[in-house]
Amino acid sequence: MRIVSLTITEGGYFYHAARDEVQLDAPGLAHDLEDPSHPTTAFGCLVEGLRRRRSAGVAPFTVLSCDNLHANGDVTGRVVTALASHLDANLGRWIYGQVAFPNSMVDRITPRTTKTDIGIVTRLTGLDDAWPVTCEPFSQWVIEDRFPTGRPAWERVGAQLVDDVRPYELMKMRLLNAGHQVLAYPGRLLGFRYAHQACTDPTIGRLLKRYLSQEGSQTLPDLPGVDLGGYSATIVERFGNPQVEDALARLSFQSSTMISTYLLPVVRDLIHAGQPAPMAITVIACWARFLEGVAEDGSPIEIVDDRIPDLRARAARHDDNILAVVGGNPLFHGLEGRSEFERPYAHMLSRIRTLGVDAALAATLPPGR
């Protein structure tokens, strides 16, 4: 075995990006520190596997993260090294010096498998597959070419092997992944189930297009050979594909992690550059209203988020404090107290709560350019 790859979702890394901190006191990692030979987390398994490699005098495997995390390889190396160092300082140093953690960027929408998908696969193939994976036509895989013990010829099947994946990753995170967030919260508040329904809604569609062209793209460096306008148009087309049936519940899963990973960095960069961020701030206001847990038709919204007890308690105070979700919240590090953020956020959240999502957004986004 030369490569171990990870796809464990963005929320599974025990890493607090804003504080650049590995959460070693999280229950899973705490267990693996107590009983490292019987790990329960992916990182505990990696550390134990690498420890056995080192003890046997066998070259270490390369660890390839395929999750939607900024610098996913760097973060993986950080968590693995921190966990190993707390167990054995020498093991931690060996991992730091010998194990490769290349960064990667993977882009293909793969909605949750449904019973309909299973039936279609059975009819088409005659095979009884309990969990087929459906996906869209588009695909992109960009990988840093750092594999000391070798790798498959992935470039033969369309992967891009590059020296630095960060510009490609940033483009995806700030346009596609952040674009998902643009759809998720106003869409769920309005009762939509799928991304294509939200994307083709006239008001949310305008919000998405303006976010992509006026804010997300403005925070990206030049990328040779990449037309950001064309890439953004492709995103709108992909999101509007009704055959994908990408559930908004999936896009809003662990929403606090999604917001802090994809959207808040755009807000911070724009404000730092002295530019407004009205579209991104509008999405964050929709998220804060979403945390109240009730759609506009009065139906409850199911929210899956490790931070939901705190976030829901904050949202419950909106009547008395419109800044309850963001004030004193570590997710908003660097934005708290900034009038460039708090004033438009409070204004938009108040309008959403008074007028409703569609009317509030329509007033902000008149038809046309």
3-state secondary structure of 84: helix
pTM of the model: 0.77
Q: In the numeric block, which tokens belong to residue 122?
A: 């059975």
Q: Determine phi and psi for 63, rounding to 5 degrees.
A: -105, 115
Q: Which long-range contacts (CB under 8 A, 24 or more apart) does 27-35 make?
A: 29/83, 32/83, 33/83, 33/86, 33/87
Q: Are residues 41 and 72 in the same domain?
A: yes
When the pLDDT of each residue in the chain is averaged and rounded to a whole number, the result is: 94
Q: What is the CATH number of the domain that holds 82?
A: 3.40.50.720
Interval 328-337 mean pLDDT: 93
Helix intervals (H) in 88-219: 89-98, 115-125, 166-171, 178-189, 195-199, 202-210
Contacts of 241 (CB under 8 A, 6+ apart): 136, 196
pLDDT tens by residue, 102-138: 999 988 888 888 899 999 999 999 999 999 998 899 9
Asked if residue 367 has pLDDT above 70, the reply is no
Return d(Cα 278, Cα 210) in angstroms, integer.
10
Residue 366 or residue 32, greater confidence: 32
Give the pLDDT of residue 222. Answer: 83
Q: Determine phi and psi for 5, rounding to 5 degrees.
A: -105, 155
Return d(Cα 153, Cα 150) in angstroms, integer.
9
Interval 190-202 mean pLDDT: 97
Give the pLDDT of residue 253. Answer: 94
In a domain, 217, yes or no: yes
The residue range of the domain holding 62 is: 3-107+139-162
Return d(Cα 270, Cα 278) in angstroms, integer.
10
Which of 56-70, 105-119, 275-289 shows the lowest per-residue confidence on average (mean pLDDT)?
Answer: 105-119
Domain stop point among 129, 162, 195: 162
Give the pLDDT of residue 368. Answer: 56
The DSSP string of 304-330 is --TTHHHHHHHHTTTTT-TTTTTTT-G
In a domain, 261, yes or no: yes
Residue 322 or residue 226, greater confidence: 322
Question: pLDDT category, 101, cuts 50, 70, 90?
Answer: very high
Give the pLDDT of residue 239. Answer: 97
Over pLDDT 70: what percentage of the chain? 99
Q: Are residues 157 and 218 in the same domain?
A: no
